[in-house]
Structure 1
Amino acid sequence: MPGPSGTAQVTVDAAGYPTVVAVPGANAALTVATPGDVALIGTGDALLLSSGTPSSGVTSAALAARERGVRTVLAPSQGDPLPDELLAATGLLVVDEDGAAALTGRHEPYRSVRALLELVPEAVVTLGAAGCLWAARGGEPMVVPAPEAAAVDTTGAGDAFAGALAVALCE
């Protein structure tokens, strides 16, 4: 897209909570998947979608993936609008505890992950140092523990997790 790239500035307070200021730049112009995008999407095993572009563009890409049999993994930022059409095209939704609570109105992770299964066939709720809670329709939620690590800054941890999860699913 013409124009400067989108950028985000992240600051972390003393308690470890991030504040993100995003300037969308050319990302704001990604409102629909182009024919070239659709062709490229069709060559993949999975499509990982996150924030930073308009929801219409994310939805367009998810629909293209579904039409081509490509698994869609959606890892939105908390507070992002999630249109029904986007959720219907999502195979796996990856959110943190706060995001799950915002989407479902349920603050207990087991309840929120079950409620997410009313929206998508498979969901992961990340639990920070406790790992994640994975669930699929027709099954029982399962806790997957996180490896022990000394966290210095968790900025980008959710995005890195979603990317690694998408690769692992394809492998």
Structure 2
Amino acid sequence: MSETEFPGWHGTTIIGVKKGGKVVVAGDGQVSLGQTVIKGTARKVRRLSPGGHEVVAGFAGSTADAFTLLERLEAKLEATPGQLSRAAVELAKDWRTDKYLQKLEAMLIVTDGDVLLVITGAGDVLEPEHNIAAIGSGGNFALAAARGLYETETDAEPIARKAMAIAADICVYTNGNLTVESISG
């Protein structure tokens, strides 16, 4: 089906900011179908606790695909307790090589408070420079804003909140209904 026949799902913004011994992951609540807002209060940032080890994850992309990836990530974390980087690499390997998973259209930002990672369907597990990661349609706007705020703010949460507000003002697929989760390292 072409884009003109069915507009498809589009957009979100997720940001992760690491500063002062804390990592904050924030996401907007807008779900769009083409040019129509379907829902404004979706929860795209979640706290996971596999094996008693806290992890915060935010997702951009298809919701069903993201939930599939979060379930797979939880299973990897249960198999490698307290080793987020290893679990992320194992998930990315599966995502890259499994024919079913290859079709999933989503990206994840994950953190255990020590490490901040972006996991992509291309098999990438990236630890971003400058302690900031952002994904989704408004991700570049939020990333630029957070980088500009990083030196003037002392805490990760105001950076994430202000960056998300700036992204929501610029990106039509991002709104100001935030879900914010923080975790300490």
Q: TM-score scaled to structure 2, two decimals?
A: 0.31
Higher strand share: 2
Q: TM-score scaled to structure 1, two decimals?
A: 0.33
